[in-house]
Structure 1
């Protein structure tokens, strides 16, 4: 009976502990859940597939988790069209209000960032920021590539009207004269518009498509569509205050607290219907990209791409100069692969990439056909110039990085040239050239045959000589014939000569 009561007490106690533990876990989860939550996401740097995956995933999770607000802080020079469209689609399909905020002060939202701002439910900018310049260009610097958005010189575009459409030309006297003199029997042309060349047609398609896309976003959010078209056709940019006056954005906020205060009570249209934004007692959480996304985003920096390309080039060049060293070649291949990944998500001009390739070839040739540094210096100049103009202006590599790369490469080239000059100033270390003109001593000799053994450079050789010799005499190698040395006595070998010249020993004594 006693044991039974003990077991009953133990069971009751365990059940009671279990219930208490469940209550302890449930109470914090109920009390810790705030009424109003929001997340802050970062778009810092180029718009790439990595950043698009990060933003799209977090916007989708915000809707699944019942988050009330998503704020995207933007500081970007532009990005890939496909990545930008992925972000825009996620914003347009979001059940949660998405607010884009160009921040902190001094930031920009150029090119692809403008499209993302136009798609947001609320678009805001901090003071001393700018946006615009959304003219598409071809990635890689050639036709057929994927448009990469970055500003171009407006002067390169045709002059047009204020809304960005080209001005219509009035027919002149030449056109009228041509019509009068044209034969009535000839069929009238169907169109007076000249056919575009292939490159011009591709550019026109990219620009017109970009114009239609951003106008559709402007019409959906009630923003200035005409200015958006000018941003695409003429690459115009505006400050935050100008953007507010033009109706490009909804508000200018000094900081995050000011932004929350201004958007409180706004009614926006989401994918699930109208939603009233409430920021009273909202709890914001900043959601960082995953480690792998941060790792890949690191290589979307033009300066990092330039450094990787330079290290890869030096590694491959060192492997060519010194075959079998393995480590420089392996390091060079890894750096080149990472550099090529950077080029796949950054705009670059293939022409200047060719300049860099020619520069590398000239640097390598300097080692094999020395030109007293002329070829090497020309290669460095081409390599540095190619680096500077490789990316568009807003993605241009820092001059300090270029100077550092050229200095390091020049020092490496100088070390190689010094090593080559020193190697040519020394006598050969192997082969016939190494043995010729060396001195040694006779080990044993047969004057009748004129042959014997000599010790030269620590090795015993068969030798022959026309002059008589004896063991211990100093000799000098004249020529090498296979494994036999032709030798002669050294000039100060007076001891051996005194035996054959009478009186030589007494004169010396």
Structure 2
């Protein structure tokens, strides 16, 4: 009986020890880990910089193994090519992409419609709108039929409709509305967008959107995915310096200013060789301007006008007529006005977007640059008319004082802060005031100056 009691006590002790170890392991593990989400922001036009940024956000979220990618969207539209890059990244993303159009007052206009449709789940803040994806609005609001003919307009419209419908069908959204948004430039508010199955919900904040999305199932290339987004830890994905630079260069006004800085820097360097810094700044600005022209729908003829204007300003430095400078200013103004293509089928932006160089910037900056070039040219011409101050010729006409008696045999004079050998055809006493008539080697030939 004693042995049985001891064995029972031993078993009880082992059970208590196992329970203690299990409890300690649970306490050490702590609460379950919070899900981690990536977050990025598209605020402004869709261009090469912002397009590369969003596509890179998808890649970084996949590599980090995050639960989802949250995109805050507020855009009037932009480059269709960049939009296709974003849509391609969203549709192929192995990480669920959640798009929230917000805050209140934001919009998903033109190209923004395609981006919203390509998300796995989309929501809008109250007071936002989505739509107006018809390609009638180029950079100046022209209709493609007016700019490129009826056939071009129909071709462009049909291609855009097919693009919108294919995205909507893949994400299970209203393909009919997507086609209408393109054909008729329809735009709807947030609550109406939910009724039409364009987006899934109206929520006032990103946190509310994540709480609503928690537990919902979405389809990814890897199969169904159950979202865990409530109380998630959010990791901000900021654009890289190259993305920021491309986005900044995608502004027509910046492109025009870069051309003007290039013109001014090169002009100053050619008029004052050896300064280096103006020429270096001009070359850097020119390279950046050429890079910007590759991401914006610019006219080749306008770039040629700007180059001609720069050439005329440089020619003004050597001719100094004033006419070349005025012609260069006119070329810069015309090039600025015509720089951005007024209709380009690769850009979709609504009428409120001013994707052109405003006259209020073109006129004063072109005139200032031309004025500076003409000023530099005339100052250079004036300096060329001044008597030479260096070398032997610079001594001719200089006044001095005889340090010793002077004659045709020789003597010494003090001229231009220096002691020189000198000769005079008449005898002059020490202290006489003399003027240099000519220089031969290291000898000055002088005459007396009567006082």
Match for residue 287 of structure 1 among 236, 240, 264: 236
When the two structures are aligned, how many residues end up with a matched partner?
A: 412
Q: Cα offset for 1:318?
A: 2.6
Q: Which residue of 1 aligns with 2:132?
A: 132
Counterpart check, 1:474 vs 2:433? yes
Question: Residue 16 of structure 1 corresponds to which residue in structure 2?
Answer: none
Q: Could you report, residue by residue, the CA deviation over 1:25-66 in whole angstroms, capped at 9, with x for unpaired residues?
A: 9945x62513x5543222234445554454345435645766
Task: Give the Cα separation in 2 of the matches to 1:117 and 1:398.
Answer: 31
Specify whether residues 352 and 49 from structure 1 end up closer, same or farther in structure 2 by C-alpha distance, changes over 3 A only.
closer
CA contact (8 A) 1:77 1:395 kept: no
User: Corresponding residue for 2:103?
Assistant: 104
| 1:285 Cα deviation from its structure 2 partner | 0.7
Partners of 1:105 and 1:351 in 2: CA distance: 42
Q: Is the 8 A contact 1:46 1:300 kept in 2?
A: no
The answer to whether the Cα contact below 8 Å between 1:91 and 1:120 also exists between their aligned partners in 2 is: yes
CA contact (8 A) 2:271 2:317 kept: yes
1:294 and 1:312 map into 2 onto residues whose CA distance is 23
Distance 1:61 1:440, change over 3 A: closer
Q: Name 1:436's counterpart in structure 2.
A: 396
Contact kept in structure 2, 1:444 and 1:471, CA below 8 Å? yes
Mind listing any 5+ residue stretches in structure 2 that lack a counterpart?
A: 1-20, 342-352
CA distance in 2, matches of 1:82, 1:304: 21
The change in CA–CA distance for 1:444 and 1:406 in structure 2 (over 3 A counts) is same
Question: Which of 189, 192, 213 is the matching residue for 2:163?
Answer: 213
State the secondary structure of the residue aligned to 2:321: coil
**Residues in 1 aligned to 2:436 and 2:414: alpha-carbon distance in whole angstroms:** 11
**Is structure 2 residue 27 aligned with structure 1 residue 39?**
no
Please report how far the alpha carbon of residue 323 of structure 1 lies from its aligned counterpart in structure 2 after TM superposition.
1.8
**Change in CA separation of 1:312 and 1:90 when aligned onto 2, cut-off 3 Å:** same
Alpha-carbon distance between aligned partners in 2 of 1:405 and 1:446, rounded to the nearest angstrom? 63
In structure 2, C-alpha distance between the alignment counterparts of 1:456 and 1:378, rounded to whole Å: 47
Could you say if the C-alpha distance between residues 220 and 153 of structure 1 is closer, same or farther in structure 2, counting changes exceeding 3 Å? same
Q: Residue 94 of structure 1 aligns to a residue in which SS?
A: coil
Pairwise CA RMSD of aligned residues? 4.6
CA distance in 2 between counterparts of 1:152 and 1:224 reads 30
Local SS of the residue matching 1:329: helix
Report the counterpart of residue 114 of structure 1 in structure 2.
113
Q: 1:108 to 1:354 in 2, by over 3 A?
A: farther
From 249, 271, 279, the equivalent of 1:321 is 271
Matched, 1:255 2:215: no
Match of 1:90 in 2: 89
Match of 1:489 in 2: 448
Change (3 A) 1:464 1:156: farther
2:145 to 148, 152, 157: 157
Q: TM-score, normalized by length of structure 2?
A: 0.70
- In the TM superposition, what whole-angstrom CA distance separates every residue of 1:143-197 from its partner, at most 9, and x where no partner exists? xxxxxx95563434169xxxxx96xxxxxxxxxxxxxxxxxxxxxxxxxxxxx8x
Cα distance, 1:430 vs structure 2: 2.6
- Closer, same or farther in 2 for the Cα pair 1:339/1:134, shift >3 Å? farther
The answer as to whether partners of 1:157 and 1:233 remain within 8 angstroms in 2 is no
**What is the CA deviation profile of residues 114-141 of structure 1, one whole-angstrom value per residue up to 9, with x for unaligned ones?**
32222223333442455434639xxxxx
Write the distance in 1 (CA, Å) between the matches of 2:384 and 2:63.
73
In 1, the alpha carbon distance for the partners of 2:287 and 2:156 equals: 30
**Counterpart position of 2:328:** 379
User: Offset of 1:396 from its aligned partner?
Assistant: 3.3
Which structure has the larger Rg? 1
Unaligned runs of 5+ in 1: 1-19, 137-148, 160-164, 167-195, 493-509
What residue is the counterpart of 2:376 in the other structure? Answer: 416
Alpha-carbon separation, structure 2, partners of 1:59 and 1:114: 18
1:357 aligns with 2:307: yes
| C-alpha distance in structure 2 between counterparts of 1:430 and 1:461, whole Å | 18
Q: Is the 8 A contact 2:36 2:235 kept in 1?
A: no
Alpha-carbon shift at residue 298 of structure 1 (Å) = 5.4
